A = this chain, B = another copy of it.
C-alpha cells in the first residue's frame, strides 16, 4: 500500500452472504469488505444476484472509493459475494479485479478467490489446448473456466469434482443466480469462516472480524477440503477432499495479516500476538529501560514483552496516518538527516534509554534499518531489535507476496550480519519452536517462509509474471 512498506503484502479478502432480507446482500458485503480492507487496498468488487439477474461492480481503490451509496442501492438481491485485492497494475487490468464473472451454460457464475494455485500454468494450458479463450492470466479465471465445464449435478458436485485438480491455496466464494458456495483447500492454508445471521441466512468471510461487523453469531471455520452451499435456510456441506495431514495453516495470519480481533484456528489473534511478545521476552531477557513497538501491528507483542520482562512499555514511534500511494520526494538535505515521513520518534521517550524495539517481521530490512537509525538519532543509548517471527528465508507460493529470495535479507545474510546491517545492538528473532508454543500448536501450520519446506511440490520458476505474451498480469491472490 505505501512505498515504504517492508511487510509481506496482504493477500486479498473474500466475503459472501446469503441473506433473507431483500436487497441487503450488497450492503452487508460492503461492510464485510470494509472490515477486510487491511487484506487488500488496491481494488474491490461485489457481485450480486436477485435470482433473475446477476450484477457486478468493481473498481480500483479502497472499498469506500469503489462503492457509493448510489452504487450499493442498485446492487439488488439476497445473494452477494465480494473481494478486496492487494495488487493490480495498469488500467487495462481491471479485468483482473475480482469477483470474476462468466456466463456459462448454467447461467452466470462469479467467483472470488484468496490464495494461489501452484499448478495454474498447467491447468491453464489444458484449457487453452481444448480451444478455450481466456481473457486474463489469473488462476481465478482458470478455476472459473473449469467450473463452467465441470461434471456433476449442481455446484456442490461441480466444485467437489474440480478440487482434486487444484494444487495450492484457495479459499473461494462462488455466486450463481440462485446460490452461494464456499470452498477451502484441503491444506487449510488460507482462512475462511462461516457464521449465521440473526435474521436468518449465512455469511462467509476470510476473517471472523468481518462476520462480527455484520452481526453474525455461531461462527465456525470452513473445514479444509470442504464445500458448502449457503442455502438460506440451512448449510449443505460436502467434505470433497479429506483434510490433509498435517494441515498447513498460514502462520503469518497470526504474525501480521489478520485483524487483532479475528479468531484464526480458534485463537484470538491479539492474544496470540501478546504471547509471541512474552515468548520473545522469555527467549531474550535483555536489560533495558523501555519497550517500544513499531506501530501498529507490533503493539500487542510489545505489551506482552513488557509485562513478561517487567520493563516499562511506552510509545516511542508515531506512525503517520496520511501516507498514501504516491509521495513527493524529500530534498537531499532532509534525507541525509534521517528524517522520515512515515515514522516520527518521540525523543523524550527514547533519549538516553536502552530501547527494546518490537517488530513482527523483517522482509527486506529496509524499514528496520531506517527505524534503528531514527531511534539512535533520537538519543537512544542502545537499540535491541526483537522480531516475533523467525528469519524469512523463502518466498511464499500460496498467495502472499514475500519478495523474491534475492530480496529477502535473511535469505542472504546470517543473523549477526543482519544485526550489523541494521546497526542494532542486538537482533533477536523468536525461535520456530517458541513461535509455535506461543500459537499453542505444535503442528498443522505452514512455515514454508521460515523453513523452505512447502506443503506440496512447488515449481519455483513459476514466478508472479509468468504469462508473458499478454501484458495482463497474473494476479496471485
Contact = CB atoms under 8 A, between A and B. Distances in A.
Nearest to A338: B215
Contacts of A38: 321
A348 B104 CA distance: 46
Interface string A77-103: 000000000000001101100000111
Contacts of A147: 133
Interface in A443-477: 467-471
A470 B57 CA distance: 12
Interface in A334-350: 334, 337, 339, 341, 344-349
A209 interface: yes
Contacts of A150: 131
Interface residues of A, number: 107
B324 A64 contact: yes
A346 B270 contact: yes
Contacts of A299: 315
A63 B54 CA distance: 31
B261 A27 contact: no
Contacts of A107: 469
A104 B300 CA distance: 50
Contacts of A284: none
A337 B95 CA distance: 37
A436 interface: no
Interface string A189-209: 000000001110000000001
Contacts of A435: none
A212 interface: yes
A246 interface: no
B261 A333 contact: no
A268 to B, nearest CB: 4
A234 interface: no
Given A64-B327, A101-B470, A103-B467, A271 B348 contact: yes
A145 interface: yes
B471 A261 contact: no
A122 interface: no
Given A102-B134, A322-B63, A329 B69 contact: yes
A471 B55 contact: yes
Given A53-B468, A56-B92, A303-B314, A259 B344 contact: yes
A245 interface: no
A218 interface: no
Interface stretch (A28-36, A224-232, A408-416): A28-36
A64 B259 contact: no
Interface in A260-298: 260-261, 268, 270-271
Contact of A260 (B136, B315, B329): B315
Contacts of A103: 128, 133-137, 467, 469-470
Nearest to A134: B103
A45 to B, nearest CB: 9
Interface in A30-53: 30-31, 34-35, 37-38, 41, 52-53
A330 interface: yes
A328 interface: yes
A337 B198 CA distance: 9
Given A101-B135, A321-B321, A213 B339 contact: yes
A21 B108 contact: no
A67 B329 CA distance: 12
A237 interface: no
What are the 6 tightest A-B residue pairs by CB atom distance, in nearest-first order?
A: A131-B149, A102-B133, A133-B148, A105-B128, A215-B337, A108-B470
Given A31-B330, A212-B339, A261-B318, 8 more contacts: A28-B331, A53-B469, A55-B92, A64-B323, A68-B328, A69-B328, A101-B470, A133-B145
Interface of A: 21, 24, 27-28, 30-31, 34-35, 37-38, 41, 52-59, 62-65, 67-69, 72, 91-92, 94-95, 101-105, 107-109, 125, 128-137, 144-145, 147-150, 177, 197-199, 209, 212-215, 259-261, 268, 270-271, 299-300, 303, 307, 312-315, 318, 320-324, 326-331, 333-334, 337, 339, 341, 344-349, 467-471
